[in-house]
Amino acid sequence: MGGLIDLSGDFAYTLAAFLVVLTVLVFVHELGHYLAARRCDIRVEVFSIGFGPEIWGFDDRHGTRWRLSWIPIGGYVKFFGDADAASMPGETGALNEAERAVAFPCKTVGQRAFVVVAGPLANLVFAAVVYAGLALSLGVAFTPPVVGEVQPDSAAAAAGLRSGDRVLSAGGSSIERFQDLQRVVRLRPGETLAFEIEREGTRRSLTATIGRRTLVDRWGNKSDIGLLGISQAGVEIRRLGPVAALWHGAMETWHTGGAIMTAIGQMFAGTRPLDELGGPLRIAHISGEMAKSGFAALVAFVGYMSVSLGLINLFPVPLLDGGHLAAYAIEAVRGRALSLRAQEIAARIGLGLVLALFVLGTWNDRYVLRLIADALGSLFS
């Protein structure tokens, strides 16, 4: 009986952590759209966390309906003049002058683009604030990029790296911390990289062919990472002031975004397997694991996911923010918007792509599905 209680409690804990992470990310994203719209004097009709029927809501003094809905995957802001929550333009010919002044489709291309890009930017700024808050409260683990031990028969040994060498750059990237070196190496398994090091006060150049290791997580998902074969010389915790913490947060967001984009580029190039792409189930499980690891780990995961959400939404795919920005760019060049028919076709294509990615992510999470099925089977057996 105790095992069943633990199992159901673990499932509830994971679900709660997932909903907290997702709600925070969606709220920040949609708040960016909302604030930008208010800045441009656009009437916001609905601010919804989730889709489907409303669970709870209220109307503010500006006429916006703030609501929680039953389907928690995502959210939206609906502007006056839009036909639906996907910002498909509605008919504006019958609007009077006062209504046209607050209708989203009647605003300039620049204003509409500003409102659209504000969502992803809000996620990126929020991630920087999260990382800065962690640095300010807990400090930053600083590991100088100095080689501790070199493993025999490793890529580092073959390249001639020695204990005590300080790595200055790797693959064209400047190295300030050991974590910077790990970030570069992990994303480039099998590649030959140029290194600049300092040894006994003298700068030297080396090349190393990065090793490859295949990792298998607890759900059976495989991923290849690069391996150099060195250990760090030591770790120290540095306390940062407010300004330094904000700078650290901005740089951490930049490096995280760069790593995400590199991994996505490698998937498109075929050098990184697509099964590393996860869906909501994997995010839910990771949320639960991070929550079990502690509040700081969960907050750091929220920062990482906020960067991911911001960048992915900037992809030029119809229905995503990047798709709207691409349409506005075409409108700016042509001098007029795409026809409603063209926008409808693009929206259908975008919906198909988003659904395909959702299906692929869910298929990659089939091991998570198996864990859930086993858990439910044990729960009700």
The full DSSP string for 310-358 is: HHHTTSS-TTSHHHHHHHHHHHHHHSSPPPHHHHHHHHHHHHHHHHHHH
pTM of the predicted model as reported, rounded to 2 decimal places: 0.72
Q: Which residues are catalytic?
A: 30
Nearest to 119 by CA among 32, 24, 26: 32
Which amino acid would we find at residue 350? G
DSSP tag of 270: T
Superfamily of domain 140-238: PDZ domain (2.30.42.10)
- The answer to whether the beta carbons of residues 321 and 235 sit under 8 Å apart is no
What is the three-class DSSP state of 241? coil
How confident is the model at residue 8, as a pLDDT? Answer: 46
The full DSSP string for 82-116 is: BSSTT--B---TT--HHHHTT-GGGS-HHHHHHHH
Low-confidence ranges of the chain (pLDDT < 70): 1-11, 83-93, 217-221, 270-282, 284-285, 358-381
* Tens-place pLDDT, residues 257-277: 888 888 777 777 766 666 666
How confident is the model at residue 90, as a pLDDT? Answer: 59
Distance (Å, rounded) from C-alpha 179 to C-alpha 192?
19
User: Which residue ranges make up each domain of the chain?
Assistant: 140-238
How confident is the model at residue 3, as a pLDDT? Answer: 40
How confident is the model at residue 39, as a pLDDT? Answer: 93
How confident is the model at residue 282, as a pLDDT? Answer: 67
* Tens-place pLDDT, residues 194-233: 999 999 889 999 998 988 888 776 656 677 888 888 888 8
Give the number of other Cβ atoms within 10 Å of residue 120's Cβ.
25
Token pair for 29 = 């994203």
Report the percent of the chain where pLDDT is more than 70.
81
How confident is the model at residue 132, as a pLDDT? Answer: 94
Chain position carrying tokens 């911001």: 310
